[in-house]
Amino acid sequence: MGAAVLVAWLAATLWTLPALFPGAVAAGGLLVGVAVGLDLWAMLEMRRRRANILPHRAATALVTTGPFAWSRNPIYLANAVLLLGLGGLFDNAWFVVAAPFAAFATDRLAIRREERHLAALFGADWFAYAGRAGRWLGRRP
């Protein structure tokens, strides 16, 4: 995600794209607020459940409450929404272009590996949870 921010910023200095749309700055500010709120909510929920928040360390708990009831990856989701919001806030379409690429890279480089780790660690509980909450967003009965 950090690389996407850097690429979007550099691309804008080399090639300015047309303005997004009237109200993009306000919409972007709203999305940034939603993203920060979701990030904080997810981190607080992890802390409340005494779960390790660092993605390069072993999981210490399977968190399925709060935003995790609706997304198995609310922090990554918030980061993608943040990129879209920054695009609007700075009226920089490169952020909007970079967001899906960053989300795809995050999915392939981090999420899939983390899910294998969680499946090995939590077994049936993980599979039941994965059947209820979408990887990015969504809840199934």
pLDDT at 99: 94
pLDDT at 30: 97
Percent of the chain with pLDDT over 70: 100
Task: Give residue-wise pLDDT tens across range 56-101.
Answer: 788 889 999 999 999 999 999 999 999 999 999 999 999 999 999 9
Task: Give residue-wise pLDDT tens across range 6-39.
Answer: 888 888 888 887 878 889 999 999 999 999 999 9
Residue listed under structure tokens 């660092």: 54
How many other CB atoms are there within 10 angstroms of residue 108's CB atom? Answer: 10
Q: Tokens for 129? A: 């949870």
Mean pLDDT, rounded, for 112-119: 94
User: Are 46 and 64 a contacting pair, CB within 8 Å?
Assistant: no
Percent of the chain with pLDDT over 90: 74
